[in-house]
């Protein structure tokens, strides 16, 4: 059983985008996917509500704090985490072998917020369990100075930068229709699908 947490208290960093894309990817791989929407804004739930019935199915739990997450029917659980990460609650649902992906934008405020979050994770004791944590640079514009600042920041954290995803309307348009780039004709989204490969490799490499 795989649990993947997409987390970072900073709003707008890409949690829902990455959580829904991952759910769509695994659903297209034929996995039983459970998407757990922890956010009060219910963006993942809205997205799934607009997903066409012909698409690879995804199950949803619109979670309040203490939802029973694992009913045994899913083999991949993707958690779209809320802005406020309740460390005590997370310590209850996170298990050895789970993965945490932290989307981060390359702006000074986002980098600072990410640092605070990672420090909170260390303090919570979550890092002492056998979980894998990686960062995903989202909406990245590699030529900008702040992308370099982000790279330096990640280097100091000693956490892997798993992937960089570019800023593209492909995600926005797909999400508007309840889709992911993995539901679209590959020729239209090849550049983006390629950027996801290191994420899949990292998830697989850290699978127990
Ligand atoms: N790689 C990307 N390229 C373009 N737009 C993006 C990308 N990632 C996220 N967005 C957009 O940024 C906004 C915030 O993303 P979202 O996933 O909702 O963040 P969060 O769930 O962390 O608040 C949304 O409008 C989303 O469509
Ligand atoms: Mg969200």
Q: Give the count of domains, the chain.
A: 1
pLDDT confidence of residue 95:
85
- What pTM did the predictor assign? 0.94
Nearest ligand (C-alpha, residue 12): 1
Pocket around ligand 1: residues whose beta carbon is below 6 Å from it?
A: 11-17, 43, 138-139, 165, 167-168, 171-172, 175
Average pLDDT, rounded, for the chain? 90
pLDDT confidence of residue 121:
86
Q: What residues make up the domain containing 159?
A: 2-205
3-class state of residue 200 by DSSP: helix
CA of 11 to the centre of ligand 2 (A): 7
DSSP of 18-54? HHHHHHHHHHHTT--EEEEE--TT-HHHHHHHTS-TT
Counting from 1 in the atom list of ligand 1, the atom nearest the Cα of 39 is 21
pLDDT confidence of residue 69:
57
- CATH of residue 26: 3.40.50.300
Q: What is the pLDDT of residues 64-83, one digit of tens each?
A: 554 555 667 788 999 999 88
Counting from 1 in the atom list of ligand 1, the atom nearest the Cα of 80 is 21
Q: What stretches in the chain show pLDDT beneath 50?
A: 66
pLDDT confidence of residue 208:
57
CA of 173 to the centre of ligand 1 (A): 11
Could you give the C-alpha distances from 161 to 18, 62, 77, 102, 135, in angstroms and in order? Answer: 15, 29, 22, 9, 5
Q: What is the pLDDT of residues 148-167, one digit of tens each?
A: 999 998 888 889 999 999 99
């Amino acid at each position: 059983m795989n649990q993947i947490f997409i987390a970072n208290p900073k709003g707008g960093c890409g949690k829902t985008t990455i959580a829904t894309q991952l759910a769509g990817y695994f659903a297209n791989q034929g996995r039983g996917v459970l998407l757990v929407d922890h956010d009060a804004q219910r963006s993942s739930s809205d997205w799934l509500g607009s997903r066409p019935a012909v698409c690879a199915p995804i199950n949803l739990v619109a979670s309040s704090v203490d939802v029973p997450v694992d009913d045994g029917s899913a083999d991949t659980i993707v958690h779209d985490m809320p802005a406020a990460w309740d460390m005590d609650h997370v310590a209850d649902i996170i298990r050895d072998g789970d993965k945490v992906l932290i989307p981060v934008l390359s702006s000074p405020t986002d980098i600072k917020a990410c640092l605070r979050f990672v420090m909170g994770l260390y303090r919570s004791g979550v890092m002492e369990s056998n979980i894998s944590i990686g960062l995903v640079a989202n909406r990245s514009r590699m030529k900008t100075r702040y992308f370099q600042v982000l790279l330096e920041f990640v280097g100091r954290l000693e956490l892997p930068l798993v992937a960089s995803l570019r800023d593209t309307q492909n995600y926005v348009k797909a999400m508007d229709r309840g889709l992911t780039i993995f539901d679209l004709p590959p020729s239209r989204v090849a550049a983006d699908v390629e950027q996801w490969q290191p994420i899949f490799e990292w998830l697989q490499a850290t699978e127990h």
